[in-house]
Structure 1
Amino acid sequence: MTAPTVPAQRSAEPEPAPGWAPTWALGRAVLLVGLLVVAGVLLGRVDLIVLATPFALGTAYALRRRPTALPQVWVTPDDAPLVEGGDVRAAVTVGNPDTVDYDLVVVRARVSPWLRIERAGFARDASTTGAGSAPGDEPAAAGTGRSIADRPFVTSVPTAAAVDLELAGKALRWGRHRVGPAGARVATAGGLLVSRAVITEPVRVRVYPRTEPFEAVEAMPRAAGLVGAHHSRRPGEGGELAGVRIFGPGDRLRRIDWRVSLRARQLHVAATLSDRDAEVVLLLDLLAEAGRSGGVGGAASVLDTTVRASAAIAEHYLHRGDRVSMLEYGPGARRLRPATGRRQYLTVLEWLLDVRAESSPHEPYDQVFGPQVLSSDALVVVLTPLLDERSAQMLARLARAGRFVVAVDTLPADLPPPKERGWAEVAYRLWRLDRETMIGQLREHGVPVVRWAGAGSLDQVLRDVARLATAPRVGGR
């Protein structure tokens, strides 16, 4: 006989949808109403029952419409290209697909420490125009240098609407940085029901390295292509005057030097050197890392200097019409095929975002320099901190093989010595002396080593390499 009454009793109780749970407020309301009713019945006091009536009616009225769906959360980054030091923008959106209003929404998001969020606030769409601003949308304190993205933000979301938590700040360092994960919890029914945390997957924001100014006005050692901006030693169509010679079959009339022809009573033409392109191979030594990165406005680590210098050198030579390729000297041994143009420059920037320093006990020379990887006329620019003996051995092997090699020292000049006293300072000095000796030995083997200093860093070195390329070589029998 009690079976028909059980479903009716259960339907009267608050049963939240899956993903929703009663709060302590609902428990306290039900407990208070129950105590007052029981006390009124046991003591025979009607006033206690009357006192419990408003609490019961208020609870029932708040639970008249219960939620059926969880909130939707997603992260939307700005699609504009982002460079170190540029403004980064992203939005964490909370949508309400339910038929009841969300009385309270608590949103939190984690952001990479290299994306310093300085301002955060809610912006409502057209369907929620006129709603009051939510707490926590004030900008971060100026000069604190701390991100405010991981603090909780509170707002409300009406039915069938969405609210954007807009994040704005600065990108401090190159790389692929995460915005998210982001999560939201919702309270509805007057705060009597709360949802479980809905967490969305993070998205990655690409921050390209800031290109340091770089110019190299010296000629390439050997320009091997058919067209380009470098003056080669090979006769052909170009702008560099090579001399005057007698007119021959195939010479163009516009090349006739009339002054010399009238004086010699025979046609002479002005001979020029052809303008050729060159292949530049940027070899990144990733066997070791040193220094601490301080972002775009702070100290630069070895990896920072390597990536920014590579971007600057690649941009310079690609702008001149040369072919540029990339190689990693490390366990990964990644390669980027040589190409020209702006598309190759964008590909180089994308390729540099995945550069990581990895130590390895094995010698990666054979893995990196496979068959037909380096052209015989290519200029190999090696960006290395010279912290590993294998790096010096690699440079010496390239020089002995007849390659045109330039070593760019990427070790920070202001690398601090160890703070520990005693033998640590002595070991640091010995290591410095040993490194200077290694650099001297490389120069004796014909490998120029120059410290990266931005514009004009390689002018003198390229001049020396070009001079060696044109000098006669002594061949052994």
Structure 2
Amino acid sequence: MSSQDPSTAERWTPTPAFGRAVLLTGLLLIAAVLLGRVDLVVLAAPFALGTAYALHRRPTELPQVWISGEEEHLVEGGEVTGTVSVGNPGTVPYDVAVLRTRVSPWLRIERASLAGGTVAEGGRSGGTRRPAVAGRPFVTSVAPDTAVDLELAGTALRWGRHRLGPAGARVSAAQGLLVSRAVIAEPTRTRVYPKTEPFDAVEAMPRAAGLVGAHRSRRPGEGGELAGVRVFAPGDRLRRVDWRVSLRARQLHVAATLSDRDAEVVVLLDVLAEAGRSGGINGTASVLDTTVRAAAAIAEHYLHRGDRVALLEYGPSARRLRPATGRRQYLTVLEWLLDVRAQSSPHEPYDLVFGPQVLSADALVVVLTPLLEERSAQMLARLARSGRFVVAVDTLPADLSPPTDRGWAEVAYRLWRLDRETMIAQLREHGVPVVPWAGAGSLDQVLRDVARLAAAPRVGGR
């Protein structure tokens, strides 16, 4: 984007070099007049002529600055590139152009090249590599009607929308006698998608209610799961005839199958609290990091199998993403996850989140929660009492260290841990399975148990 401002395009100020040239020329001429010495006039002539010639070719337009960032799909740990350009729209060259730019701390810039040469390398500070170009000046000259690019390359450390910029430039012209005001370019945002952890789960689903899909249902129909053998009826296809049973029984029999149907998976993100410190893709993970990466992995797995996936936020904003299938839904999920933020709320957001017709009766609800607040446990219990198929995934980091800044902090931390374990045990008594997130296989046993319970016959009261 350009940052040219037409209303102030000719705002150039003299430099100290201009003041020294004028002062020296004036002093020499005054001395020549007072002392009657022609040689002092000869000494002042080069300064006067040089200053007049430089000012005769003074610039009339301010420089232009652009910032362009990565437009393709960028994932955590991937290479990020960006370009900061300074252009000269006039006919007078810029003798010196000083360019500075800011970079988000989650974009670790390791290489920066200007006019084809490498000018900066990342350094280490306190064990963490810091951006090499944040606030550092880069100096070049710019010819008329051309632009010079500062190319940046590095690594994206964390998911989110990260800023590249703002960038500013000041140029000097007329042989260093004039300097422009600072021209600022607005920052651009680079989208970094969460890296999906390896995740796989069994095919067991509580209820598969769609028309087509990969899950076995309990309803007869066209599918790949054998349900038994029955007598041939009008409308049955000949390819379904079981000739062995038919010859033995002397009557046509066909193989009956169960229909394959898709399921609806609702991933609920508990964003009421945050804990832990994020260290990027190669460091420690906070609650929000684990939640976002787990949600992306679960959504990718079930969307790849043809299921419908929806997303919900349990928080004051109550954001939701409607259920859908396919690759477009997966890209929409990744885009939706970039805006996930931890938001505390003084009120219970249950009624705000679970409005009418939000959750399907047959949907599998996977709740990603750190269980840091009692309201989260109450929400899980209410979902279970309403007859939903709920699975709670614990996203609290296992290596969360207790505070040590106060005398009773460690004791309070241990008591809080015991109270949290009691809360988890009570949830399991209410029929809500709670499992820690561990990537592939995290939900296998839980999904088998939930599917077994859903398939069990229910006793109705009289």
Report the counterpart of residue 64 of structure 2 in structure 1.
Answer: 72
1:232 and 2:224 equivalent? no
CA shift, 1:357, in A, is 0.5
Structure 2: how far apart are the matches of 1:475 and 1:108? 73
The AA in structure 1 aligned to 2:104 is S
CA shift, 1:51, in A, is 1.5
1:297 and 2:282 equivalent? yes
Mapping for residues 97-246 of structure 1, pairs under 5 Å: 97-123=89-115, 137-141=119-123, 145-150=129-134, 151-246=136-231
Report the counterpart of residue 324 of structure 2 in structure 1.
Answer: 339
CA shift, 1:17, in A, is 7.3
Report the counterpart of residue 3 of structure 1 in structure 2.
Answer: none
The AA in structure 2 aligned to 1:290 is A
The secondary structure found in structure 1 opposite 2:410 is: helix
Report the counterpart of residue 409 of structure 1 in structure 2.
Answer: 394
Counterpart of 2:21 (choices 29, 38, 50) is 29
Whether contact under 8 Å (2:123, 2:132) holds in the other structure is no
* Segment drifting more, 322-331 vs 37-46: 37-46
Unaligned runs of 5+ in 1: 1-15, 125-132
CA shift, 1:121, in A, is 1.2
Deviation digits for residues 73-99 of structure 1 (CA, Å, limit 9, x no counterpart): 010112221000000001001110011
Deviation digits for residues 279-311 of structure 1 (CA, Å, limit 9, x no counterpart): 000000000000000000010000000000000
CA shift, 1:36, in A, is 1.3
Whether contact under 8 Å (2:95, 2:175) holds in the other structure is yes
Report the counterpart of residue 429 of structure 2 in structure 1.
Answer: 444
CA shift, 1:52, in A, is 1.4
Structure 1: how far apart are the matches of 2:404 and 2:61? 58
Structure 1: how far apart are the matches of 2:9 and 2:64? 16
Structure 2: how far apart are the matches of 1:17 and 1:384? 54
Structure 2: how far apart are the matches of 1:176 and 1:371? 32
Mapping for residues 231-270 of structure 1, pairs under 5 Å: 231-270=216-255
Instruction: Spell out structure 1 runs of 4+ moving beyond 6 A.
Output: none
Report the counterpart of residue 344 of structure 2 in structure 1.
Answer: 359
Structure 2: how far apart are the matches of 1:216 and 1:328? 23
CA shift, 1:138, in A, is 4.0
CA-based RMSD of the aligned residues comes to 1.4
Report the counterpart of residue 5 of structure 2 in structure 1.
Answer: none
Structure 2: how far apart are the matches of 1:470 and 1:391? 28
CA shift, 1:148, in A, is 1.3
The AA in structure 2 aligned to 1:137 is V
Report the counterpart of residue 391 of structure 1 in structure 2.
Answer: 376
Counterpart of 1:45 (choices 37, 40, 43) is 37
1:459 and 2:438 equivalent? no
The AA in structure 1 aligned to 2:23 is L
Structure 1: how far apart are the matches of 2:298 and 2:384? 21
Unaligned runs of 5+ in 2: 1-7
Structure 1: how far apart are the matches of 2:59 and 2:10? 9
Structure 1: how far apart are the matches of 2:402 and 2:30? 77
CA shift, 1:421, in A, is 4.3
The secondary structure found in structure 2 opposite 1:407 is: strand
Whether contact under 8 Å (2:9, 2:62) holds in the other structure is no
- Could you say if the C-alpha distance between residues 269 and 182 of structure 1 is closer, same or farther in structure 2, counting changes exceeding 3 Å? same
The AA in structure 1 aligned to 2:131 is S
Structure 2: how far apart are the matches of 1:309 and 1:249? 49
The secondary structure found in structure 2 opposite 1:186 is: strand
Deviation digits for residues 85-123 of structure 1 (CA, Å, limit 9, x no counterpart): 000001001110011000100001111110000001114
CA shift, 1:147, in A, is 0.5
Structure 2: how far apart are the matches of 1:304 and 1:101? 49
Identical amino acids, percent of aligned pairs:
81
Deviation digits for residues 164-183 of structure 1 (CA, Å, limit 9, x no counterpart): 10000000000001111111
Q: How many residues align?
A: 452
The secondary structure found in structure 2 opposite 1:59 is: helix
Structure 2: how far apart are the matches of 1:102 and 1:276? 68
The secondary structure found in structure 2 opposite 1:145 is: strand
Structure 1: how far apart are the matches of 2:256 and 2:160? 50
The secondary structure found in structure 2 opposite 1:49 is: helix
CA shift, 1:224, in A, is 0.1
| TM-score, normalisation: structure 2 | 0.96
CA shift, 1:45, in A, is 2.4
Whether contact under 8 Å (2:384, 2:431) holds in the other structure is yes
- Could you say if the C-alpha distance between residues 17 and 347 of structure 1 is closer, same or farther in structure 2, counting changes exceeding 3 Å? closer
Structure 1: how far apart are the matches of 2:427 and 2:9? 73
| TM-score, normalisation: structure 1 | 0.93
The secondary structure found in structure 1 opposite 2:121 is: coil
Structure 2: how far apart are the matches of 1:388 and 1:138? 46
Deviation digits for residues 431-461 of structure 1 (CA, Å, limit 9, x no counterpart): 0000000000000000000000001110001
Whether contact under 8 Å (1:17, 1:67) holds in the other structure is no
The AA in structure 2 aligned to 1:75 is I
